[in-house]
């Protein structure tokens, strides 16, 4: 009778990560369906069910012969030399999987989930990357990227076309930059041009530009590649897995940074108030003597008004310091009005002149 090493129950870890992400996204105003829960998937895929609104997560296990077969098959596909490395990788991978499926759930909840499955996968990947990329310690990030890079080499010869993940990645400039087809300077130049002239990255890369002459001509296959992914989707398990491995590798190694509020704004059409609203009390008294220059210059010049406002702010700080006892009161306090500026102790005059007062 064969025995297997004992591995922790990943489903308990997944449930903890699920509830943590739900609370985190709620802080950004992204409320998930309270009926949604994490369920165990019977197949070897993780997915969000559009019919019942539940997230189904497959986790590696050695409990049954069939689960052990699926676990060893995926470990072999990733090129892991043993199950210890595979389980360690998958443990780090769980928050990404859950955040990815929550991205689908949010899109579906807000009525934005489209029939373009390739696009929905790219959108969900951006939310998942915003969660995992900031949190992986450098050593663990290096480990995950190493596993993904090695995993891309195995099935690369069995998928068509060549560099399938690069051609189908949503950000062409980042993908070509990661694989070394364009350097950082070219990426920045093309990114700026893309915004200035309102052209797609593909149009800029196909232009007769000597700086992008090294870009392969098979970039023209991008449209057909995306159409093939939409047509086959998860039915082609090898292609589906290879694409997700490649997309995650490009997300983790690219120079682009993702944020949850960006996902909410761009892909859910929701503005996320990250800062509390500022309450400005209504003025009930006339401007003081030293507020007149700022108030009077507001209509004439924004620059002058800004300078006067800075001077006003500094004087207010000095007044508050005097009231708190930090500064010595003015000797002529009986003769001064309430708007007079108190005399500062030695050393404050140099600080005041250095600050522009």
pLDDT per position in the chain (357 positions), as tens? 445 566 777 999 999 999 999 999 999 999 999 999 999 998 889 999 999 999 999 999 998 999 999 999 999 989 999 999 999 999 999 999 999 999 999 999 999 999 999 999 999 999 999 999 988 999 999 999 999 999 988 777 778 777 788 888 888 778 877 777 677 777 777 666 666 666 666 666 666 455 555 565 657 788 888 998 999 988 888 889 999 999 999 999 988 889 999 999 999 998 877 666 666 566 566 555 455 555 555 555 565 556 656 666 666 667 766 665 544 544 444 444 444 444 444 554 554 455 455
Q: How far apart are CA 354 and CA 357, in angstroms?
A: 7
Degrees, nearest 5: CA angle 183-184-188 = 120
Domain extent listing, the chain: 1-133+257-273, 292-330+338-354
Give the pairing of strands 38-40 and 47-48: unpaired
Contact call for residues 7 and 90 (beta carbons, < 8 A): no
- Convert the pLDDT of each residue in 96-116 to its tens digit: 999 999 999 999 999 999 999
Q: How far apart are CA 35 and CA 319, in angstroms?
A: 56
Question: Would you give the DSSP letter of residue 38?
Answer: E
- Convert the pLDDT of each residue in 62-76 to its tens digit: 989 999 999 999 999
Q: How far apart are CA 98 and CA 93, in angstroms?
A: 9
């Amino acid at each position: 009778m064969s025995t297997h090493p004992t591995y922790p129950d990943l489903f308990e870890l997944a449930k903890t990560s699920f509830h943590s992400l739900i609370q985190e996204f709620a802080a950004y105003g992204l409320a998930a369906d309270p009926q949604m829960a994490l369920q165990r998937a019977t197949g070897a895929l993780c997915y969000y069910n559009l019919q019942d609104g539940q997230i189904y997560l497959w986790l590696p296990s050695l409990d049954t012969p069939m689960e052990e077969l699926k676990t060893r098959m995926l470990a072999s596909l990733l090129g892991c030399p043993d199950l210890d490395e595979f389980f360690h990788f998958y443990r780090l991978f769980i928050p990404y999987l859950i955040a990815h499926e929550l991205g689908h759930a949010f899109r579906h909840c807000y009525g934005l989930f489209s029939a373009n499955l390739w696009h929905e996968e790219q959108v969900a990947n951006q939310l998942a990357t915003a969660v995992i990329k900031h949190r992986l310690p450098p050593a663990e990030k290096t480990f995950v990227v190493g596993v993904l890079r090695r995993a891309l080499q195995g099935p690369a010869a069995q998928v068509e076309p060549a560099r399938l993940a690069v051609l189908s990645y949503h950000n062409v400039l980042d993908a070509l930059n990661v694989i070394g087809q364009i350097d950082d300077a070219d990426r920045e130049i093309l990114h700026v041009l893309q915004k200035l002239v309102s052209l797609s990255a593909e149009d800029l890369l196909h232009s007769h530009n000597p700086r992008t002459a090294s870009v392969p001509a098979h970039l023209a296959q991008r449209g057909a590649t995306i159409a093939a992914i939409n047509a086959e989707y998860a039915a082609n398990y090898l292609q589906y897995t290879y694409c997700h491995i490649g997309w995650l590798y490009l997300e983790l190694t690219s120079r682009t940074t993702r944020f949850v509020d960006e996902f909410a704004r761009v892909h859910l059409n929701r503005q996320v108030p990250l800062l509390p609203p500022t309450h400005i009390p209504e003025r009930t008294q006339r401007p003081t003597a030293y507020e007149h220059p700022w108030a009077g210059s507001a209509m004439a010049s924004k620059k002058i008004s800004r300078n006067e406002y800075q001077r006003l702010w500094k004087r207010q700080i000095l007044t508050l310091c005097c009231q708190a006892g930090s500064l010595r009161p003015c000797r002529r306090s009986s003769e001064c009005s309430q708007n007079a500026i108190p005399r500062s102790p030695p050393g404050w005059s140099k600080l005041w002149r250095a600050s522009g007062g």
